[in-house]
Amino acid sequence: MTSEVPPFLLAELMAPALLILAAGFVLTWVATRSVLLSLFLPLAKATVFVVYFAAFFDGTWTFLDDWTYLEKGQLLLDQGVSTTNFFAHLPLLFSTAGGKHFVYHLFNADAARLFGPAYYAPVAFNIVLTFVAAGFMAGAAKAGLHFSRRLAVGLFASLVLYPDLVAWSTVVNGKDTLVMTGTGVAVYVISQIESGRYRRAVILGVVIGFVLFFTRFYTPLMMLAAFGLAMLLSSSGRRRPWLWLLVTLGGAGVLSVLGMRGLVNAFNLLLQDFVNPIYGFFRYLLTPIPFNTTEHYDFLDLPQVLYWALMPFLVYGVYRVWRRATLTARFAVIYFLLMVALYAMFAELQGPRHRYQLDGLIVLFQFLGFLSVFRQLGMGRGSEKPTASKDYSGMASPPRMLD
C-alpha cells in the first residue's frame, strides 16, 4: 500500500471529469430518456471524483494491487499495446500480468494513454463503467423481470448513486468495477435470450465471457453453472435444447483455455484457504461492521450503514425476484447465491472488495424488496398484488411486476 501521496491539481482532473460528464450524459439518456437525470447523475459523479482527487486523495485508501495495475499498464503503454492490437501481443500480456488475467492491465494502459499515468485515470474509466452496468441491469429488469419503464429508471438511478458503488468506483483503482459491469451484462444477456433476441445475446455473451475470463476466470464458469441450473428450474429453458448446447460449448471453451493444471491449482488453493462456510457466509455478506473498519477501509463506513439498514430488504428482494419464475429471475438469484457460497468457503476473499462485484444484483434485490414492502403497506400508488410462482417466460405479454 502507498500513503502520503499528494492530491492532484484541478487542471489535471478536468479532462477525465469531462469524460465522466459526456459519457454519463449519453449513457443516462439512452437508459432513461430523462434530461434531468442525464444532467444530474453525471454531474454528481464528476463532482465527487474531482473533490476527492483534488482535496482528499493521499494514498491512504489504496492497495498494493491498485498500484501494480497502474505500473503494469504503463509498461504495456510503453510497448505500444492497446485494445486495438492486443491479439498480436498476447504473450507479452500474459507475461506482464503474470498469468491469464491481463484485461485490467490493458484497461490501465488505455486509461494512461488518454489521461496520463496517474491514479485517477483508470478510476475515471471505472466511473463511466458504473453507468454501463446500471444501463444493462435496468434493461435486464425490463426485459426479464417485467419492470415498467418508470421502475427501470428508478433502478438505474439507484445503482448509479448507490453509496458502496460510488465509494469503490471513485476511490479505488480496482478491477471489481469491471467484473460488476460484466455481471450486469450477463443478466441482460439472459433476459435477451428469454425475449428471443438470440443474436444480440450470443454476441454480448461471447464478448463479456472473454472479458471476464481474462479478468477473473471463475466468474464465467459460475455464470454458466447458474444458467444451467436456471434452465433446469424453468420450463421454457428445458424446452430449448440448443441452450444446453450453448452452455456445454461455453463450459468446454472456458475449461479448455483454463486447462487441467489451472483447475487443479484453483482447487488446491481453495483447499488451503477453506473455512467453515456458515461462518464465511455471514462474514462475506456483512463485512465490515460500520465504523469498525481499519484505516484503509474506513471510506466504507457510511456506505456500510446504508447496506446494513437495507439488509432485510435485500433478503426479501431475493425472494421477490425468485417468485417471478422467469429464466432471468432464476439466473440472477442462483448466480448471486453461488458466488456467495464460493466466497463463504474462501477466507482470503471474504472482504467487501469481492462483494462489490455483486452490487448490481444487491441493488436490484434491495430496490425490489423495499418497493414491495412499501406498496404492501399501502404507501404506494396502489399496492402490489402477489403473483403465483408461474413461469411467464414463454408468454407473449407477461404481467408486470410493479406499475
Of the ranges 44-58, 233-247, 324-338, 358-372, which one carries the lowest mean pLDDT score?
Answer: 233-247
274: β partners:
346
Q: Is the pLDDT of residue 307 over 90?
A: yes
> What mean pLDDT comes out for the span 319-336?
94
Q: What is the mean pLDDT of residues 277-282?
A: 90
Q: How many angstroms separate the CA atoms of 391 and 77, rounded? A: 50
Choice among 277-291, 315-329, 386-400 with the minimum mean pLDDT: 386-400
Q: Which range, of 44-58, 151-165, 286-300, averages the lowest pLDDT? A: 286-300
* Amino acid sitting at position 322: W
- Res. 134: pLDDT tops 80: yes
Rounded Cα distance between 204 and 273, Å, is: 34
Cell numbers for 397: 405479454
- pLDDT band, very low/low/confident/very high, at 243 (cuts 50, 70, 90): confident
Measure the CA–CA gap between 262 and 356, rounded to whole angstroms.
25
Q: Which three cell numbers stand for residue 15?
A: 479532462
Residue 264 is inside which H or E element, if any? helix 241-272
Give the pLDDT band (50/70/90) at residue 236.
low
386 has pLDDT over 50:
no
Contact between 169 and 127 (Cβ < 8 Å): yes
pLDDT in tens, 147-164: 999 999 999 999 999 999
- Give every CB contact of residue 376 below 8 A, 6+ residues apart in sequence: 383, 384
Average pLDDT in the 131-146 region? 97
Q: What is the CA radius of gyration of the chain?
A: 21
Percent of the chain residues past pLDDT 70, beyond the cut: 87
Prediction pTM value: 0.89
Residues forming a β-bridge with 346: 274
Total Cβ atoms within 10 A of residue 257: 13
Is the model's pLDDT at 262 over the cut of 80? no
Which residues lie closer than 8 Å to 271 by C-beta, 6 or more apart?
A: none
Query: In the 3-class helix/strand/coil scheme, how is 46-82 assigned residue by residue?
Result: HHHHHHHHHHHCCCCCCCHHHHHHHHHHHHHHHCCCC
**pLDDT over 80 at 3, yes or no:** no
| 320: pLDDT strictly greater than 80 | yes
Phi, psi values for residue 397, rounded to 5°:
-130, 80
